Structure 1
Amino acid sequence: MKVKYVRWSTLQQKPSRQLLDANSFDKVLAEQASGTVPFAERSKGKELLALITNRKVTELYVEELSRLGRNTRDILHTLDICEDNGVCVHVQNMGICSLVNGKPNTTFKMFSHLMSVIAEQEKENILERTTFGRIAARNRAVVFGRKVGTHENKAEFLKKDKSKAILKYLDGIHSIREVAKLTDTSAATVQKVKKIAAELQLL
């Protein structure tokens, strides 16, 4: 089966460009998810991995490598799963694929490692730009976050992809620092998730 995976990060973004060739595939898996969420923790990512490990997929197409994620280790792990199950991965914006005549493409391996590092670096650049933007906005007295007098429901907070990823590692084995590193979050966020989960008797 020929599958295309489509991901966009925010509700403000539109996946239309990635879906222009949707009719060319047997199946299109599309979702709105942060690239920092591990691939296996995403709804469509999980579905795709199940299809791959069950040998239902022969070719996987992504518009660019960063659609798989913005964490080098996670991207390479996903590509390894594809290779182990005979799936040829096509990165469309670069016109390159992981298999040539059924054999691993060494050029793709070098390229994918480089591009995954670039994708992760771009994530850091985005965070840096966001931070500077917030500082500049605060200097202009712009207020961020929820409206004054409102609060986020605790259960809703734990339903977020990032919170669910953190909960997976709150098993009493991993330290707060380790969980933060594994999920690409801050220790403060991990502490918040842990506190709320404990209050709701989920731990």
Structure 2
Amino acid sequence: MMKTVIFARVSTNVQEYYRQVNELTVLAKSNGWSVEAVFTEKISGAKANTERTELLNMINFVEVNHINKVLVTELSRLGRDTLQVLEVIEMLNRKGISLYIQNYNIETLTADCKVNAMSQFLITILAEVARMERKTIRERVESGYKNYRANGGKVGRKIGYKKTEESMREQYTEEIKLLKKGYSLRNISKITGASINTIRKCKSLI
């Protein structure tokens, strides 16, 4: 039986990855593939691979457990930086592990574990489009903020605003989980993208 793992990612703590996992689980079942593990993370896809704990855990797992395929719903779930994405794919290629991208129904390797040149070409284009899209969105947001401020608008929380402990626990579940595991504030900040001050506030909730 074909052995697979599911990899799902969302960018922020308020987003959820359950839809991705459910869709890929159904996909695997319909193809008669076994799902050996599920890896999920809440982190910006623009982060360096070395800062993404679950991505590194997945790469290690697929090699040790002789996995055949890594399943993602779309390429951007693997990452949004072209070079970082291609780096992961190259590592998988060298291990003879195919990346299956659901929304385009393409794989990086052929049935005999050879590099699929056409898929590789398409993936490079898709990764670059995702990077450009992220850059465009960031520029639009920055431009919007500048125009808003120029017209007298104020950005930020209202004076006296303070999140409740319950909302903090809901929004920063990953940070609290890592704190309980003994990770340092600095490392948690690198992994999740949250500020050191925010993580300090989370620590007071434990």
State the TM-score, normalizing by the size of structure 2.
0.68
The counterpart of 1:113, out of the listed 99, 124, 127, is 124
Which structure 1 residue ranges, 4+ long, deviate > 6 Å from structure 2? none
Consecutive unaligned residues of structure 1, counting only runs of 5 or more, are 165-203
Spell out the pairing of 1:73-152 with structure 2 (5 A cutoff). 73-102=83-112, 103-138=114-149, 139-144=151-156
Consecutive unaligned residues of structure 2, counting only runs of 5 or more, are 29-34, 163-183, 194-206
Q: 1: CA distance between counterparts of 2:189 and 2:99?
A: 29
Q: 1: CA distance between counterparts of 2:37 and 2:78?
A: 17
SS at match of 1:93: helix
Structure 1 residue 125: deviation in Å? Answer: 1.2
Query: Which segment is superposed worse, 79-88 or 13-22?
Result: 13-22
Q: 2: CA distance between counterparts of 1:72 and 1:7?
A: 16
Query: Which segment is superposed worse, 135-144 or 26-35?
Result: 135-144
Query: Which segment is superposed worse, 83-92 or 53-62?
Result: 53-62
Q: 1: CA distance between counterparts of 2:72 and 2:43?
A: 15
Structure 2 counterpart of 1:108, one-letter code: S
Structure 2 counterpart of 1:141, one-letter code: G
Q: 2: CA distance between counterparts of 1:142 and 1:16?
A: 36
State the TM-score, normalizing by the size of structure 1.
0.69
Query: Which segment is superposed worse, 66-75 or 138-147?
Result: 138-147
How big is each residue's C-alpha offset from its partner over 1:131-157, in whole Å with a ceiling of 9 and x where there is no partner? 12222332352322696799xxxx746
Structure 1 residue 17: deviation in Å? Answer: 2.5
8 Å Cα contact 1:6-1:30 kept in structure 2: yes
SS at match of 2:103: coil
Q: 1: CA distance between counterparts of 2:87 and 2:187?
A: 26
SS at match of 1:27: strand
